[in-house]
Amino acid sequence: MTAPFAPPALPGYEHLYSGKVRDLYAPLDEAGAQRTDRLLLVASDRISAYDHVLDPPIPDKGAVLTQLSLWWFDQLADLAPHHVVSTDVPEAVAGRAVLVERLDMLPVECVARGYLTGGGLAEYRAKGEVSGVPLPAGLVDGSRLEEPVFTPSTKAPMGEHDEPISYDGVVAEIGPALAEQVRDLTVRILLRGNEIAAERGILLADTKVEFGLRGLDLAKGEDAGEAIRSRGASCEVVLADEVLTPDSSRFWPAEEWEPGRPQPSFDKQFVRDWLTSPESGWSKDSGVAPPSLPAEVVQATRARYVEAYERLTGTPFA
Ligand SMILES: C[C@H](c1ccccc1)n1cc(-c2ncnc(N)c2C#N)cn1
């Protein structure tokens, strides 16, 4: 795997954690201690495909996806409160970072699928259902589902794949009231997202959102899971992380939708096509890091991120 791109040191912040494409920091107080009420969520220009972080980064990808997520939080504000506090962030990450309220995160990756593909399609082909929800016979890759299906998974440790869990598994984790609330919210977020995106020529096949709790007030040393199960139902559920971006959702160009085959990705198709072409000299089953992307693939991919932002928001990307 290509050496991961080191997240920038940010004076006044402590780097906590890096995912494939995002970095998490804690703001420090005057005494240099971590603030416990805020986090800085930074979107890098890194892009991943076939489980590899690719090289080079895509210029402006972090900023485009941050600005898109902020726009979606506004579009969804009537469905759920969100965690965004401010976009007043260090110059080094201007436009691609958000100061957020630190929440007690629910240990569930909340996924809703409006179209059948990927892991959901594989489960359907094996069992005729997905996440315990029976589906009609005869569905194919890219079939639109009558209504979105909630297909949650557990949060896997860094670098591992999330494990699908049943709705009952979610109930066991966070209690029946919260489970119902996050399932309904996740489905409504995808429906709203598609109402808006479809008009602009983009289909959101599926999305992953994360929720946190406001008001849990964990005592020192208290087990978060126990507290969520016992008191979580009386807390406020807050939409966190990023929302309805090409990194958290499958973006498909609507005019190319054709059930019965893998759908082209709105944003990652140039990368996938090049990496799987003879020109790259790479094989996705090789287990070795992919070669660096050619400049024209980088630029074409940047243009697709910008195009998605401008189509959805109706605003030029500055
Ligand atoms: C998965 C995501 C992540 C982001 C960036 C880099 C790696 C992972 N993450 C989000 C929190 C988090 N924790 C407490 N309160 C919050 N408001 C949030 C948020 N968002 C913890 N991890």
**Beta-carbon contacts of residue 57 (< 8 Å; ≥ 6 apart):** 5, 44, 45, 46, 47
Hey, which bits of 28-141 come out as E strands? 38-43, 48-49, 52-53, 84-86, 97-101, 104-105, 110-115, 129-130, 133-134
Taking the CA of residue 240 as reference, the ligand 1 atom at the shortest distance is 20
DSSP 247-264: TTEEEEEGGG--TTSPPP
Decide whether any atom of ligand 1 lies within 6 Å of the 24 Cβ: yes
| pLDDT of 1 | 43
The confidence band for 4, taking pLDDT boundaries of 50, 70 and 90, is low
Contact 97, 89 (CB under 8 A): yes
Q: Where are the alpha helices (DSSP H) in 200-268?
A: 224-231
Average pLDDT over residues 40-59: 97
Measured in whole angstroms, how far is the alpha carbon of residue 209 from the centre of its chain? 6
Q: pTM of this prediction?
A: 0.97
Taking the CA of residue 23 as reference, the ligand 1 atom at the shortest distance is 6
Do 13-101 and 104-252 agree at the fold level?
no
The 10s digit of each residue's pLDDT in 215-225 is 999 999 999 99
Decide whether any atom of ligand 1 lies within 6 Å of the 17 Cβ: yes
3 exposure class (CB count in 10 Å sphere: 0-12, 13-18, 19+): exposed
What are the counts of helices (DSSP H) followed by strands (DSSP E) for the chain? Answer: 7, 15
**Looking at this predicted complex, what is its ipTM?**
0.98
Report the share of the chain in percent with pLDDT over 70.
99
The 10s digit of each residue's pLDDT in 152-193 is 999 888 778 889 999 999 999 999 999 999 999 999 999 999
| pLDDT of 278 | 97
Average pLDDT over residues 131-138: 97
Length of the chain (residues): 318
| pLDDT of 95 | 98
Question: Is the confidence at residue 79, as pLDDT, over 80?
Answer: yes
**Residue 230 corresponds to which tokens in the numbers above?**
């016992």
Residues 82, 163: Cα–Cα separation, whole Å: 26
| pLDDT of 109 | 98
Q: What 3-state class would DSSP assign to 308?
A: helix
Q: How far is the CA of 19 from the centre of ligand 1 (A)?
A: 10
Mean model confidence pLDDT for the chain: 97
> Quick one: which of 185, 189, 306 has its CA closest to 244?
189
Q: How far is the CA of 127 from the centre of ligand 1 (A)?
A: 33
The 10s digit of each residue's pLDDT in 270-283 is 999 999 999 999 99
| pLDDT of 5 | 72
Q: How far is the CA of 1 from the centre of ligand 1 (A)?
A: 24
**Residue 293 corresponds to which tokens in the numbers above?**
């992307």
**Residue 14 corresponds to which tokens in the numbers above?**
């402590």
Q: How do the domains of the chain map onto residue ranges?
A: 13-101, 104-252
Q: Which CATH superfamily is domain 13-101 in?
A: Phosphorylase Kinase; domain 1 (3.30.200.20)
Cα dihedral sign, 87-92-95-96: negative
Q: How far is the CA of 303 from the centre of ligand 1 (A)?
A: 27
Could you give phi then psi for residue 183, rounded to 5 degrees? -65, -50
Residues 72, 204: Cα–Cα separation, whole Å: 13
Average pLDDT over residues 201-229: 98
| Range in 140-149, 155-164, 308-317 the model is least confident about | 155-164
The 10s digit of each residue's pLDDT in 249-267 is 999 999 999 999 999 999 9
Q: How far is the CA of 24 from the centre of ligand 1 (A)?
A: 7
Average pLDDT over residues 226-233: 98
> Quick one: which of 149, 267, 290, 154 has its CA closest to 203?
267
Hey, which bits of 102-143 come out as E strands? 104-105, 110-115, 129-130, 133-134
CATH architecture of 104-252: 2-Layer Sandwich (3.30)
HSE, side-chain direction, 13 A CA sphere, residue 50: 21
